[in-house]
Amino acid sequence: SCPQPGPAALTAGAGRSRGRGSARVYADAEDGYNFWRTARRYYRSGLGRVRSAVRAWNGERCPLACVLQLGDLIDGLNAQRGASEPALRAVLGELAQLRAPVHHAWGNHDLYNFSREYLLRSELNSAPRGAPGPAAGADACYAYHFSPAAGFRFVMLDAYDLSVLGWDKFSQKYQHALKLLKEKNPNEDLNSPLGLDECQFVKFNGGFSQPQLDWFNEVLTASDKNREKVLVAGHLPIHPGSTNDVCLAWNYKDALSIIHSHQCVVCFLAGHLHDGGYCLDTHGVHHLTVEGIIETPPQSHAFGTIYVYEDKMILKGKGRIPDKVMYY
């Protein structure tokens, strides 16, 4: 018999480890390398990796409940070439073949290509209509929750709610984020972590506003009461054991503190770090950072399917993504 239907997690890129560079899931460009020239970036073949994932998920014996896309669907290189919209249409066209709903996180490269206002109007806004969120209007925070099956809830967090990316430069949100970033990072290049005590405070990262954290706490309080198991997803990792320090969310400790004050959270899924990572924290929460498509050779894969059971989740990975059993 089939287990309770589980999500399929597609990683759509990751953050750089140090220095400059651009690389996520897709750009119609020749292959390149990271800033240190230690890893090859497969820009054009990323579309084929997405197509392979879709084909595999559609062939699952148990129908998928949903698919998670963990951010950076297209590379920032597209913005430089004026090709953002064609690149987005190409990848979304592949995902449209799925027989399951797709839930999108937003990453830094999505915000290099588009403003938050554009993304809220686009297909990358996968929040169910009328879904309660932390804020509306000009300060809209892209965070929501949904239940794919009884007793199980997903929370999608906006890791760039507190950020200098995507916001209008004259907005209060931008000015507040810029002030915080400059207080933490005195470097002329705000993308450089050189000499920082908290090296996550770089421009290509972001964080969670207080209204979003308050909303997150309320959602988890309700899930505690309803005895739900909760899986949280966002582009940026929030535990140092699941990533290198430069790829953490700015105020990851605040998000982690809220999670640890509740009983319901079983897993946190993130993208951003190309090499992936994993840890089981001291409160029994699994932190899984999924490997990126952009550094996956054309002959390999970078996706996985999570099967949900009463006592555990089982990740069956393809290619670069290893299998993993995660007990509650």
* Domain extents in the chain: 8-327
Rounded to the nearest 10 degrees, the angle between the axes of helix 84-95 and helix 46-58 is: 20
> 296 by DSSP, 3-state: which?
coil
- What's the pLDDT at 12? 37
Q: List the alpha helices (DSSP H) in 59-121.
A: 77-81, 84-95, 108-113, 116-121
- What's the pLDDT at 126? 96
Distant-in-sequence, close-in-space partners of 178: CB < 8 Å, separation ≥ 6 = 164
Q: Do residues 267 and 288 lie in contact, with contact meaning Cβ atoms separated by under 8 Å?
A: yes
DSSP structure class, residue 207: B
- What's the pLDDT at 17? 27
Render pLDDT for 297-315 as a digit per residue (tens, 0 to 9): 888 888 999 999 999 999 9
φ/ψ (deg, to 5) at 296: -100, 120
Q: What's the helix, strand, coil split of the chain in %, to 5?
A: 30, 20, 50
- What's the pLDDT at 42? 72
- What's the pLDDT at 174? 97
What CATH superfamily classification does 8-327 receive? Metallo-dependent phosphatases (3.60.21.10)
H or E stretch at 197: none
> 267 by DSSP, 3-state: which?
strand
Edge-to-edge strand ranges of the sheet holding 277-280: 144-149, 152-156, 229-233, 265-270, 286-289, 277-280
- What's the pLDDT at 109? 94
Regions of the chain with pLDDT less than 70? 1-26, 31, 34-37, 132, 135-138
Q: Do residues 205 and 108 lie in contact, with contact meaning Cβ atoms separated by under 8 Å?
A: yes
- What's the pLDDT at 25? 66
CA dihedral 133, 134, 140, 143 (to 10 degrees): -60
Q: Return the structure tokens found at 5.
A: 């239907």
- What's the pLDDT at 43? 75
Structure-token match 């209509």, residue found: 129
- What's the pLDDT at 132? 66
Q: Do residues 26 and 81 lie in contact, with contact meaning Cβ atoms separated by under 8 Å?
A: no
